[in-house]
A = this chain, B = another copy of it.
């Protein structure tokens, strides 16, 4: 697919926005006849986790999101710190901080790019089996995160997505991966 590849010649920082940075790239077209500019976002990688309790409930978090100015229903997740490049440890940490739940059975479900047109980052999704609450949520020290827990039987999640109650693309993608995993362990997905 080399004939589709652009070659980036130059990147200029346009704005440093704390959780993301905006760059203007000058890129050479595949036929090498043309240089054009494209705005892209650099972000840290993300990790998220579908925590399932011994009773078969998924532990969701409700939180306000400043992008859409709405309260969303999401699974726990967050940014992979630079010093902490392991997405599994990030998933474990975010699960505990946002919900107070712990699991000894974290299983990798899938890796995706939330928005490859504009963003360079990836998101790794994990499944946390037998998740049990052993503490209160701790949130971030600066108080940016105000979160409520919301438990949903695993069988009801698809209905919440169908209703639009769960509308976060990264979360819906996580449940697609969970479906693949369920198919695999029941042997219907070819190896």
Binding site for B on A (CB under 8 A): 1, 4-6, 8, 14-15, 17-20, 22, 24-25, 27, 29-30, 34, 36, 38-41, 62-72, 110-120, 122-123, 143-144, 146, 148, 158-159, 161-162, 164, 167-170, 172-173, 175-177, 179-180, 183-184, 189-190
Complex Cα–Cα for A17 and B168 (A)? 24
Could you say which residues of chain B place their CB within 8 Å of the CB of A111? 164, 167
Knowing A66-B117, A114-B169, A168-B113, the reply to whether A71 touches B176 (Cβ < 8 A) is no
Could you list 11 examples of A-B contacts with CB < 8 Å? A1-B71, A6-B66, A14-B17, A19-B118, A20-B118, A40-B67, A111-B164, A161-B176, A162-B189, A172-B173, A172-B176
CB distance from A158 to the nearest CB of B (A): 6
CB distance from A20 to the nearest CB of B (A): 7
Interface pair A115/B114, CB less than 8 Å apart: yes
Of the listed residues A5, A159, A169, the one surrounded by the most CB atoms of chain B closer than 10 A to its CB is A169
Interface pair B64/A5, CB less than 8 Å apart: yes
CB distance from A152 to the nearest CB of B (A): 15
A164 to chain B: closest residue by CB: B111
Could you say which residues of chain B place their CB within 8 Å of the CB of A4? 62-64, 71, 146, 148
Interface pair A18/B5, CB less than 8 Å apart: no
Could you say which residues of chain B place their CB within 8 Å of the CB of A17? 14, 22, 24, 39
A46 to chain B: closest residue by CB: B117
Please name 16 further chain A to chain B contacts, defined as beta carbons within 8 Å, in addition to the given A40-B66, A158-B189, A179-B179, sorted by A numbering. Answer: A4-B64, A6-B66, A6-B69, A20-B118, A29-B143, A67-B113, A67-B117, A67-B120, A68-B116, A68-B119, A68-B120, A110-B162, A115-B115, A159-B189, A161-B177, A172-B177
